[in-house]
Amino acid sequence: MQSKLPDVGTTIFAIMSKMAAEHNAINLSQGFPDFPLDPTLVNLVSKAMQEGHNQYAPMPGLPALRNVIAEVIYSTYQKKVNPETEITVTAGGTQALYAILQALVHTGDEVIVFDPAYDSYNPAIRLSGGVPVHINLHAPSFQIDWNEVENKITSRTKIIMVNTPHNPSGAVLSEEDILSLEKLVVKHNLILLSDEVYERIIFDNKKHYSALEILFMPQVGKLVTL
């Protein structure tokens, strides 16, 4: 039986990790910590298991966890979100991206993706019946040319995906970038999918501008962040 995506092959992360192990090299392909796990966390996990917290959680996540996430969002970005209707807990970012794209993308819908990109973006879009529209980011700055983005938008464009801080370049969208993004999203009535999983890993005195913090989206109501 033929796969739905026969050309996907083996993920580059698996290939690079295998090569790093074979050559006893430093593995820069995945985020493997080079320090031991905090014993406090180990003890807390063990304590929770011993207390019987091993049952299925509610589908969107435990209410207590969603409440804390809402509190963290507010303390970080001064943005109030409803933990009951606006927060969903997933088993990692890749699952979240896949679920969002499967839910929102229909056959023929176009999704703008900036390359280089995390390698789950393209196959998730294609599996949903969508069409990835790739825009190259050029070294060394890996900044987005918003005029090029506007030229790529068509009547079939449904979603624009951004990733800041960017994997794998480390580039960070500026406040001006976010405002340019907002203008395009509002003008073309797009859904914005903002991948911000590295929001706490910022260097060189730069600031992370979240779509939650900057965008004034009530007029559109189509913002998804993770």
Chunked into runs of 10 residues, the chain (226 residues) has average pLDDT values of: 80 86 86 86 94 90 96 93 94 94 97 94 96 95 96 97 94 93 93 94 90 63 62
Type of residue found at 123: P
Spell out a b/e string for 186-209, using b for 16 or more CB atoms within 10 Å of the CB, else e. Answer: beeebbbbbbbbbbeeeeeeeebb
Alpha-carbon gap, residue 223 to 76, rounded angstroms = 18
Question: Is residue 84 in some structural domain?
Answer: no
Per-residue pLDDT at 158: 97
Supply the pLDDT for residue 224.
Answer: 66
pLDDT at 222: 60
- pLDDT at residue 33, as a whole number: 77
Helix (H, G, I), strand (E, B) or coil at 176: helix
Do 17 and 123 share a domain, yes or no?
no
Global pTM reads: 0.87
Phi/psi at 109 (5° precision) = -65, 140
- Domain containing residue 180: CATH number: 3.40.640.10
What pLDDT was estimated at residue 111? 98
Please check whether residues 114 and 219 belong to one and the same domain. Answer: yes
Strands in 70-171 per DSSP E: 110-115, 131-136, 157-163
| Co-location of 210 and 106 in the same domain | yes
How many distinct structural domains can be found in the chain? 2
Residue 54: per-residue pLDDT: 85
- Would you say residue 107 lies in a domain? yes
Q: Domain check: are 122 and 218 in the same one?
A: yes
DSSP labels, 76-95? HH-----TTTS----SSHHH
